[in-house]
Amino acid sequence: MDIQKLKYFIEIADAKNISQAARNLFVTQPTLSLSLKKMEQELNMPLFVHEHEPFQLTLPGKMLYEKGKKIVHSFDDLMDEMRTMQQHSPKQSIRLGLTTLFSLQFMEQISQFIATHPDVELNIRHEGSNKLQHLLANNLIDIALVSFPNTEEKDIDIEPLETTTKGYNVHVVVPEDNPLSQKEELTFYDLKDQSFASLTEDFKIGKMLIEQAHAHGYQPNIAIYNNDVQILIRSLKQSCAICLLPIEYKSTFSVTGLKWIPLKDKFNYYPIGIGLRKDYVCSKEINELISLIKNN
């Protein structure tokens, strides 16, 4: 999903009619219809009740509309700031890789860096730790906050973080009507006959699910793949699936009717660190960003 599709979706929701939304946006009706169709396919859920006129938002549609408006507003503000910055001298660019979880956990330090370094352009890329390590090794980002272990990238080093945020703990997210919700902890043997909603193998947890299920003698039944944590959590009750996620997400994405149960496994905790290429020479600004992160 990109920002343009999100803007189209919000206008359709406001107009409650694709024809009127198309007129308001000065685009064709087929363009809007195709954009909406692609969004629903990407999210694997309907955003509108299409049988009625005017269009009515579904429950996922309402959530996307409310949060999407904030995202679009923030994005437009950001674009305004970027255009203003273009009037000044060229800036140093830092390409920072983060998972969504690390964005939440280190947002205070990142915001502080942005506020105190107006001459630095901080480009943030959100991916899973496995993919971030690959991007780092291939010089597509400069620095990243990633989970251990190093996958197969020999050209990067990861320095462990000894801050208040040192890592994350894996839990099993289970609908309350699933019999597993009565357990105090769960092992991979307990999960054998379950359907999963899972992060992809770009993420440590997504790859770990496949590997550990195989190690315990079964192929996991993965019904849904999605790298949007909020979508995964909100899909569980509807799809009768379970999900492996860091418990640290629970307070951010609070959904009723779910239980977060500790996973009893040797891979139930992932330490995190600062990843850099071995040949990378840190600028003064990069070192200042690292110092702020270490103050978490």
Over the stretch 81-132, which tens digit does the pLDDT of each residue have? Answer: 877 766 655 678 999 999 989 988 999 999 999 999 988 999 999 999 999 9
Tell whether 175 and 253 lie within a shared domain: yes
Of the candidates 65, 82, 99, which is a domain's last residue?
82
Tell whether 56 and 173 lie within a shared domain: no
Tell whether 159 and 175 lie within a shared domain: no
Tell whether 104 and 235 lie within a shared domain: no
Sign of the C-alpha dihedral computed for residues 91, 288, 72 and 36 taken in this order: positive
Tell whether 99 and 150 lie within a shared domain: yes
Tell whether 156 and 285 lie within a shared domain: yes
Q: What is the mean pLDDT of the chain?
A: 90
CATH assignment at residue 41: 1.10.10.10
Which one of 1-5, 67-71, 90-94, 290-294 scores highest in mean pLDDT?
290-294
Q: What angle do CA 57, 100, 136 make, to 5 degrees?
A: 135
The yes-or-no verdict on residue 276 having pLDDT over 70 is: yes
CATH assignment at residue 263: 3.40.190.10
Tell whether 122 and 257 lie within a shared domain: no
Tell whether 135 and 278 lie within a shared domain: yes
Tell me the pairing of strands 92-98 and 156-160. Answer: unpaired
Sign of the C-alpha dihedral computed for residues 24, 27, 30 and 36 taken in this order: negative
- Write out the residue range of the structural domain in which residue 214 sits: 168-269
Q: Give the count of domains, the chain.
A: 3
Of the candidates 42, 57, 82, which is a domain's last residue?
82
Cα 31 to Cα 141: distance, rounded to the nearest angstrom: 34
Tell whether 77 and 112 lie within a shared domain: no
The gap between the terminal CA atoms of the chain, to the nearest Å, is 31
Tell whether 161 and 174 lie within a shared domain: no
Tell whether 44 and 185 lie within a shared domain: no
| Residue in 48, 44, 41, 63 with CA at minimum distance from that of residue 18 | 48
Please name the residue that has the structure tokens 């996991």: 220
pLDDT of residue 86: 61
Cα 76 to Cα 72: distance, rounded to the nearest angstrom: 6
Of the candidates 21, 48, 82, which is a domain's last residue?
82
Token pair of 39 as six digits: 């969004």
Token pair of 19 as six digits: 């024809």
- Give the burial class of 26: count Cβ atoms within 10 A of its Cβ; 0-12 exposed, 13-18 middle, 19 or more buried: exposed
**pTM greater than 0.85 (yes/no):** no
Tell whether 264 and 275 lie within a shared domain: no
Cα 247 to Cα 78: distance, rounded to the nearest angstrom: 31
Cα 231 to Cα 53: distance, rounded to the nearest angstrom: 27
The yes-or-no verdict on residue 282 having pLDDT over 60 is: yes
209: which residues sit within 8 A by CB, 6+ positions away?
A: 196, 198, 220, 222, 244
